[in-house]
Amino acid sequence: MKSSKSLFVVAAFVLLALFPLMAGQYGVDLVTKIMVFAIFALSLELLVGSTGLVCFGQAAFFGIGAYATVLLTPQDGAPSLLWLLPACVLLAALYALVVGALSLRTKGVYFIMVTLAFAQMAYYVVHDTPLGGGTDGIYLTVKPVLGTLLDLDKPQAFYGFTLACLVGVFGFLTLLLRSRFGRALAGIRVNEQRMRATGFSTYPYKLAAFVISGGIAGLAGFLFAVKDGFVNPELISWHLSGEVLIMIILGGLGHLRGALIGAFAFALLQEFFKSEAIFGEFAKHWHLGLGLSIIACVALLPRGLVGVPGQLAARLSGRLTGARGAASQEVPHD
Amino acid sequence: MTNASDVLLSGSEITRRWGGLVALNKVSLELQRGTVHAVIGTNGAGKSTLINILSGEIPPSSGQVELLGQDVTNWSQPRRARAGLGRSYQRNTIYPSFTVLENCRLAAQATVQKPWAWWSDAQQCTASMAQARASATRAGLDDLLDREAGLLSHGQKRQLEIAMCLATQPQVLLLDEPLAGMGAEETERMLTLLAELKSSHAILLVEHDMDAVFRIADCITVMVNGTVIACGTPDLVRNSPEVRVAYLGEH
């Protein structure tokens, strides 16, 4: 079972690497965008699925990474990727440190509300001050370069770079979650009281997870800004925080590949319902179709899309009742 | 018998108020290495509150807690735990979705946390793995290491509570009703284990099973409504008129 999971991930990454060879400009652009959201979703999965912290302000870190990219880019000449990328990640992580330090003093629904409030604060800062250029947003005039080695203005090169970032983040989180730190996060998710009684000061652990998550979201924001060459306050809005939450729930909480699958499923569903070729006039009501299909997914697939093979296997061997029982239990991390 | 250096944990004049209610009223007690100190009392007498204060889960309204000769009243619960204070819970407080071994290993990890080593696999952590196996063996869970903890029987979960407690290598054990809901055979096994652990630990035992308490305890504190009404050897307590009236139900 374990090897089939890693086989799935490796196969997915190989397919993604081969994809530009067979796809057109539109396809490459779409998949680049989805991979950026997959990195974003992975950052939230670390908090929600692995640590049990439901953060509803993840877009703040994404948006700060994106805005930092634009604001730090000098007027004259392309900046080097080598300093711009770490700077954006650090700024997002720094904001996560502040938000985390304060919001982690609360629990449950209050935590959700406080993280939302901090994200809205960031939203209004870019929306209503000269710094962020208001509702219109700001254009990114020159894209960062890595010497002559890598020109991110070329779609193929940017695709490759984004894929490398996605693989890097996925690999990093995989190692992180099986390390002592990751196991402690899992313990906090399952039973924080016991963790404290055993001798773990849980607050620093949660704060570290929060900062790492913010940094990864900042990386996604950086990629998004460079890809579109444009940022606006929508990148920090609570809609985006909600969307990324839906992605990881759709994919299946408690699994890194769930975030990956969720990001793809969400974006493809969106594309599908937006398609005028299929829905004609109705395509402009795509929110309705997307919403209904998400409700259907959550109702029918309580463990998310990652749970589908297991559910099918259970149905085939006629143990559907067993699967329902197992679905209500907590899903272990792998 | 009383040797000051062997007092591992002591609480003095611990008081806890919840609004107008006094849950604990100037309770003092000492736990010595090599002894089992039982605390008995009716429901609501303040036994669990006492354990919660000694372990640092909640702060006392007034009073002092000393662990291994240091004043730990203002220490957080995790810090006390790392200093050698282990506790178990009245209601099973395990990690139900982890295996038995991982429950113990994670507890043992508290002594070798190394959170920065993000590249190294926790399952390869030899120090915590060895402690985990040793404590699981000690609690009699050898055959169940790979079982998901949530699937254990009630008695096995109580054993796991103890194993997790031991995995942190504590010197003081605060056990909140370890025998609750156990069958006769499981009770016997647990009492044997406690008798073994006694030699190297100081044990505080909160328990409702009077037969077990009088068999194993070296010293018994009797509480009623947050106040200590008697404290001494089992014989002394058994023959105390106040205890008979207040608790054992004889007039």
Query: Which of A175, A191, A198 best probes binding to B when mutated, by most B CB atoms within 10 angstroms?
Result: A198
What integer pLDDT is reported at residue A323 of this predicted model? 45
The CA distance from B105 to B160, in Å, is: 12
- In chain A, what percentage of residues exceed pLDDT 70? 95
pLDDT bin (cut points 50, 70, 90) of residue A201 is: very high
What integer pLDDT is reported at residue A327 of this predicted model? 45
The CA distance from B38 to B205, in Å, is: 4
DSSP B202: E
Number of folded domains that form chain A: 1
- Residue A330: closest CA among chain B residues belongs to which residue? B97
Query: Lowest mean pLDDT: which of A140-144, A154-158, B189-193?
Result: A140-144
A333 or B19, which is more confident: B19
Determine, for residues A197 and B93 on separate chains, whether the beta-carbon distance falls below 8 Å.
Answer: yes
The answer to whether residue B200 scores a pLDDT higher than 60 is yes
Do the beta carbons of residue A191 and residue A202 sit within 8 Å? Answer: no
Does residue A277 belong to any structural domain of this protein? Answer: no
**CA nearest to B223, candidates B15, B52, B36, B27:** B27
Determine, for residues B81 and A175 on separate chains, whether the beta-carbon distance falls below 8 Å.
Answer: no
Residue with tokens 């909140």: B176
Do the beta carbons of residue B240 and residue B227 sit within 8 Å? Answer: no
Does residue A334 belong to any structural domain of this protein? Answer: no
- List CB contacts (< 8 A) between A49 and chain B: none
pLDDT bin (cut points 50, 70, 90) of residue B220 is: very high
Does residue A231 belong to any structural domain of this protein? Answer: yes
Per-residue model confidence as pLDDT tens digits over A111-144: 999 999 999 999 999 888 888 778 888 888 888 8
pLDDT bin (cut points 50, 70, 90) of residue B249 is: low
Determine, for residues B95 and A190 on separate chains, whether the beta-carbon distance falls below 8 Å.
Answer: yes
Residue with tokens 């063996």: B137
The CA distance from B203 to B158, in Å, is: 16
- Residue B57: closest CA among chain A residues belongs to which residue? A197
Helix segments in A81-129, DSSP class H:
81-103, 108-128
Question: Helix-strand-coil percent breakdown of chain B, rounded to 5?
Answer: 40, 25, 35
What integer pLDDT is reported at residue A278 of this predicted model? 82
Domains of chain B: 4-84+170-248 (3.40.50.300), 101-169 (no CATH)
Q: For chain A, give the mean pLDDT.
A: 89
Does residue A56 belong to any structural domain of this protein? Answer: yes
The answer to whether residue A6 scores a pLDDT higher than 50 is yes
- Residue A194: closest CA among chain B residues belongs to which residue? B93
What ipTM does this complex have?
0.88
The CA distance from A190 to A210, in Å, is: 17
User: How far is the CA of B77 from the CAs of A156, B70, B71, B80, B105, in angstroms?
Assistant: 54, 15, 13, 5, 20
Residues in A whose CB is inside 8 Å of some CB of B read: 172, 175-176, 178-184, 186-187, 190-191, 193-194, 196-202, 204-205, 208, 329-332
Q: For chain B, give the mean pLDDT.
A: 89
Please state the length of chain B.
Answer: 251
The answer to whether residue A198 scores a pLDDT higher than 90 is yes
- In chain B, what percentage of residues exceed pLDDT 90? 56
What integer pLDDT is reported at residue A277 of this predicted model? 82
Q: Which amino acid is at A192?
A: E
Does residue A278 belong to any structural domain of this protein? Answer: no
Domain encompassing residue A301: 2-272+284-328
Looking at the complex, report in whole angstroms how far the Cα of residue A1 sits from the nearest Cα belonging to chain B: 16
pLDDT bin (cut points 50, 70, 90) of residue A310 is: confident
Does residue A24 belong to any structural domain of this protein? Answer: yes
pLDDT bin (cut points 50, 70, 90) of residue A331 is: very low
Determine, for residues B113 and A198 on separate chains, whether the beta-carbon distance falls below 8 Å.
Answer: no
The answer to whether residue B216 scores a pLDDT higher than 50 is yes
What integer pLDDT is reported at residue A223 of this predicted model? 96
**CATH number, domain at A252?**
1.10.3470
Does residue A300 belong to any structural domain of this protein? Answer: yes
Does residue A192 belong to any structural domain of this protein? Answer: yes
Per-residue model confidence as pLDDT tens digits over A220-267: 999 999 998 889 999 999 999 999 999 999 999 999 999 999 999 999
User: Strand B36-41 relative to strand A230-231: parallel, antiparallel, unpaired?
Assistant: unpaired
Per-residue model confidence as pLDDT tens digits over A268-307: 999 888 888 888 888 888 889 889 998 998 888 888 898 8
Cβ neighbors of B87 (< 8 A, separation 6 or more) are A197, B51, B55, B81, B165, B173, B174, B175, B176
Determine, for residues B123 and A178 on separate chains, whether the beta-carbon distance falls below 8 Å.
Answer: yes
